């Protein structure tokens, strides 16, 4: 199966969420080309990997060109919660790997699979124990729970290597979902891979990744405050979180699952 991976030029390893969006692509053998310098014949490939919806703004001609080729078009849709799968954008695709349902809580009406998050456990490496609780995320009116939590813990916005170091030094890190997407985020796997306790509100699909007894849950900000004030790391729990992530949720594991699905479906 000859694969072409189409990358937006603005997405680089230094950019926020680059590894979330493309880390698993790096573990799948294939050629790569930038959208802004698309100088290959898509008909020479069996499968073409396409990035998420918002990366195709002002690139409709290129998208149409790719859709009209003989290659199978596979979309990795990381932001479907903001639109409907009935959007004309999805016409002409052969398969969708989606992170979440659409704004109507529907799944795609075509060949598709839910794609669970994964991480590169060779990049997110562990240091067990640690001190303190960190809260690394954006805070705005769109995330009311985060706003309340930021009154207890100052939020930071570290990225890339600085973010990994922050997690390695911490005993635990706070994870939250959002009103728009009440589902576990990739951050939970990043915490676990670094040997950091996951401290989270109760959210959908967390149990897919980790048993309930390995996650420190809070049901209110007051409960979180108590957790923060009395938190002590459990290195055995931290090691179990890391082990599960390596064995079940590493990018290489997810890459194998993706290639197996495509081999059988398209």
Where in the chain are the domains?
A: 3-118+251-265, 133-248
Four-point Cα dihedral 40, 44, 50, 53, nearest 10: 70
Identify the architecture of domain 133-248 in CATH: 3-Layer(aba) Sandwich (3.40)
pTM equals 0.93
Query: Which residues of the chain register pLDDT less than 70?
Result: none
DSSP notation for 52-85: -GGGGTT-HHHHHHHHTSSSEEEEEES-GGGS-T
Encode pLDDT of 14-51 as tens digits: 777 888 889 999 999 999 999 999 999 999 999 999 99
Q: What is the CATH number of domain 3-118+251-265?
A: 3.40.50
- Do domains 3-118+251-265 and 133-248 share one topology? The answer is yes
The span from the CA of 87 to the CA of 90, in Å, is 6
């Amino acid at each position: 199966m000859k694969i072409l991976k189409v990358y937006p030029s603005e997405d680089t390893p230094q950019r926020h969420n680059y590894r979330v969006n493309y880390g698993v692509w790096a573990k799948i053998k294939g050629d790569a080309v930038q959208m802004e310098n698309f100088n290959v014949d898509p008909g020479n490939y069996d499968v073409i990997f396409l990035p998420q919806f918002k990366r195709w703004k002002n690139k409709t001609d290129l998208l149409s060109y790719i859709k009209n080729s003989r290659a199978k078009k596979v979309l990795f849709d990381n932001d479907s919660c903001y639109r409907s799968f009935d959007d004309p954008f999805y016409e002409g695709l052969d398969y969708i790997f989606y992170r979440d349902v659409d704004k109507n809580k529907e799944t795609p009406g075509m060949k598709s699979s839910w794609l669970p998050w994964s991480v590169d456990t060779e990049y997110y490496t562990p240091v067990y124990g640690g001190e303190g609780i960190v809260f690394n995320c954006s805070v705005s009116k769109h995330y009311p729970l985060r706003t309340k939590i930021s009154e207890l813990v100052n939020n930071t916005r570290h990225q890339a290597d600085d973010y990994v170091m922050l997690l390695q030094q911490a005993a635990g890190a706070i994870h939250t979902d959002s009103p728009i997407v009440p589902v576990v985020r990739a951050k939970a796997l990043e915490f676990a891979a670094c040997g950091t306790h996951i401290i989270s509100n109760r959210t959908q699909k967390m149990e897919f990744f980790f048993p309930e007894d390995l996650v420190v849950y809070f049901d209110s900000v007051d409960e979180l405050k108590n957790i923060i004030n009395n938190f002590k790391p459990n290195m055995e729990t931290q090691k179990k979180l890391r082990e599960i992530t390596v064995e079940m949720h590493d990018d290489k594991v997810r890459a194998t699952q993706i290639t197996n699905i495509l081999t059988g479906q398209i």
